[in-house]
Amino acid sequence: MRNSHLNSRFFFIKYVCGLKLS
């Protein structure tokens, strides 16, 4: 399941973006 790795990376980027926006 390579999709899991991609999803994890996408989630991480979204998380970092949220912190920067805050």
Q: Which residue has the tokens 């949220």?
A: 18
Give the amino acid at 10: F
Prediction pTM value: 0.47
Tell me the mean pLDDT in the region 3-14.
Answer: 92
pLDDT at 4: 85
Identity (one letter) of the amino acid at 12?
F
Nearest to 11 by CA among 22, 1, 3: 3
**pLDDT of 11-22, one tens digit each?**
999 999 999 988
pLDDT score at 21: 87
- CA-to-CA distance for 17 and 2, rounded, in angstroms? 23
Is pLDDT above 80 for 2?
Answer: no
Q: Say how far apart CA 20 and CA 14 lie, in whole Å.
A: 10
